[in-house]
């Protein structure tokens, strides 16, 4: 029987947290393992221990992060204290936390989750391609772990797609986060890796990528207010949950991939998952 791994895009503020928690409550037993990106979960910027506890209690197994990982610096020990809270692997050596985690299912199967961050139009970090290549030379699919999924937090579609083909056959799934806009290109690459350029976000889509519309519009149209403070949009009626689900066979290959787009503006986007 395949392993179904659900991976959710950037959780943006309270609306995103509530939407994902509600979705996971409704879908208990549907997924064998759940990953969610939490770098925007604390009012749009960073994450807190309280939010980690809330997401883990709701059924999230691993929380990945991104460029807003350390926006809140009052508890840097949190990143070492929570082994299932994963920041980008290609951050410089000495950065708090860790860039991957391997978890064991009740069946004995092992799942490795890796977080990477892109470099195109992003802050300068170590090369994600060489860093993950070095990691996979030691941690091999089918040898040291049964499933490997990668959250690639990056700006450009080309960098994400390139990483997907670079790792095709060496990992079970590669999916993008960061842009907050879900893409329509979910597919299985030639050597068995599931791929989606971007999951989108969990949050209020009646917004500008999760933020109340007024401040982003001012930033783009008014020189005096070019640094207007942004706050997350909060309307639960237009809040959606976006992600991707990979079905992984006993060899670690992806045999099915489906996008998850439910609630709010995506209410009629696709049929819902049902329990197996």
What amino acid positions are annotated as catalytic residues? 68
**C-alpha closest to that of 245 among 233, 236, 254:** 254
CB 41 within 8 A of CB 47: yes
**C-alpha closest to that of 258 among 275, 240, 241, 243:** 243
CB 8 within 8 A of CB 37: yes
User: How far is 52 from 85, CA to CA, in rounded Å?
Assistant: 8
Name the region of 192 (left: φ>0; alpha: ψ -120 to 50; beta: rest).
Answer: left
CB neighbours of residue 5 within 10 Å: 25
DSSP structural state of residue 56? H
Between helices 13-26 and 49-58, what is the axis angle to 10°?
A: 20
CB 158 within 8 A of CB 255: no
CB 180 within 8 A of CB 153: no
Burial classification of residue 6, based on how many CB atoms lie within 10 Å of its CB (0-12 exposed, 13-18 middle, 19 or more buried): buried
CB neighbours of residue 133 within 10 Å: 13
DSSP structural state of residue 195? E
User: How far is 104 from 11, CA to CA, in rounded Å?
Assistant: 25
């Amino acid at each position: 029987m395949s392993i179904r791994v659900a991976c959710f895009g950037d959780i943006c503020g309270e609306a995103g947290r509530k939407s994902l928690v509600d979705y996971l409550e409704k879908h208990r037993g549907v997924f064998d393992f759940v990953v969610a990106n939490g770098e925007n979960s604390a009012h749009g910027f960073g994450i807190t221990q309280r939010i980690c506890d809330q997401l883990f209690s709701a059924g999230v197994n691993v929380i990945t992060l991104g460029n807003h990982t350390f926006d809140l610096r009052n508890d840097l020990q949190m990143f070492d204290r929570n082994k299932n809270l994963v920041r980008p692997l290609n951050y410089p050596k000495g950065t708090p936390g860790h860039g991957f985690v391997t978890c064991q299912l009740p069946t004995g199967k092992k799942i490795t989750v890796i977080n990477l961050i892109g470099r195109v139009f992003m802050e300068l970090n170590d090369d994600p391609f060489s860093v993950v290549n070095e990691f996979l030379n030691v941690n091999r699919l089918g040898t040291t772990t049964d499933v490997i999924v990668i959250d690639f937090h990056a700006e450009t579609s080309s960098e994400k797609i390139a990483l997907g083909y670079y790792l095709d056959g060496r990992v079970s799934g590669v999916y993008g986060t960061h842009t907050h806009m879900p893409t329509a290109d979910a597919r299985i690459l030639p050597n068995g890796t599931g791929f989606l350029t971007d999951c989108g976000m969990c949050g209020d889509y009646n917004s500008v990528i999760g933020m109340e519309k007024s401040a982003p519009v001012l930033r783009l149209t008014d020189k005096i207010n070019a640094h207007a403070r942004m706050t997350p949009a909060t309307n639960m009626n237009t809040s959606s949950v976006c992600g991707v689900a990979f079905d992984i066979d006993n060899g670690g290959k992806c045999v099915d991939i489906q996008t998850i787009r439910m609630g709010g503006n995506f209410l009629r986007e696709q049929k819902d998952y049902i329990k197996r």
